[in-house]
Amino acid sequence: MVEIQASGGRLGNQMFEYALGRIIAEHFGYKLTHNLYCSELETNFNLPKILEGREISSPDQHIDGMMNYESNLLETILDNNSERKIILHGFFQNYNYFKNYKDKIKKWFYIDKNYENKDDIAIHIRKNDFKHIPKFDSSDDYFLNLLRKESFNKIIIATDEPEYILIKKIMEEFKDRVIIFKGNTFETLQHFTCYNKLILSFGTYSWWMGFLSNAERIYLPNRICPGSIDLRVFDEERYVLV
């Protein structure tokens, strides 16, 4: 069986935990259990705590994916055909694990896109807990330079810090073309998957906005944190790494 032990974090992190666990469970036909606590997984994505399958109670294989894991980790797990209980602990934030399972993952995290917006551009600006961590934070110029080169009608902004100076800079430069979107975690994710142009921050929640959308142009920070996070998408033309 596969057991996912929650590693903390919020929805974006826990979506990666669930996706990796389910890929492994379906590959081996194993039962999947998890104690992930983000309510959106169950209430919005309708993902149960238990998926039935074969139960193997021993031996245990503990896989730690908190801050140091290899890009071929999933391949190594799936190539091992020995019967075992696989216990996952970590965020597993590496696009290489998921690029061959896109259709499955998009079905698991299905979002009903109630409209399509081709005229505006949507930006997710994450600042609160990133602005003092240079390896995670995206500079003000990253957002401003992309806005200056793009064509659009309105700018739709979702942010965890609406009073941040960057928001004021955008509003001063683009004036009445700026709309601040206010919604809960799932409403924001759902809304932003409807846009044809996205400018995303470095972070898992922001990344899922692009992955689950049908956007034709997605700007994403061209960044990797050695030994841990690598969410760069190289195999889709719609992604522009900046």
Q: In whole angstroms, give the CA distance from residue 165 to residue 152.
A: 22
CB distance 203 to 128 below 8 Å = no
> Residues 61-99: pLDDT tens digits?
999 877 666 788 999 999 999 999 999 998 899 999 999
Whether the per-residue pLDDT at 129 is higher than 90: the answer is no
Whether the per-residue pLDDT at 131 is higher than 80: the answer is no
The mean per-residue pLDDT over the stretch 95-110 comes to 96
Q: 180 in helix, strand or coil?
A: strand
pLDDT band at 137 (very low <50, low <70, confident <90, very high): low
From 155, 160, 147, select the one nearest 242 (Cα to Cα): 147
Q: 223 in helix, strand or coil?
A: coil
pLDDT band at 8 (very low <50, low <70, confident <90, very high): confident
Q: In whole angstroms, give the CA distance from residue 25 to residue 54.
A: 9
From 66, 64, 25, 65, select the one nearest 48 (Cα to Cα): 25
- Can you tell me which residue has the tokens 């309708």? 46
Range in 21-35, 92-106, 215-229 with the lowest mean pLDDT: 215-229
The mean per-residue pLDDT over the stretch 195-216 comes to 95
> Residues 220-232: pLDDT tens digits?
999 877 667 889 9
Q: Give the residues across from 124 on adjacent strands.
A: 158
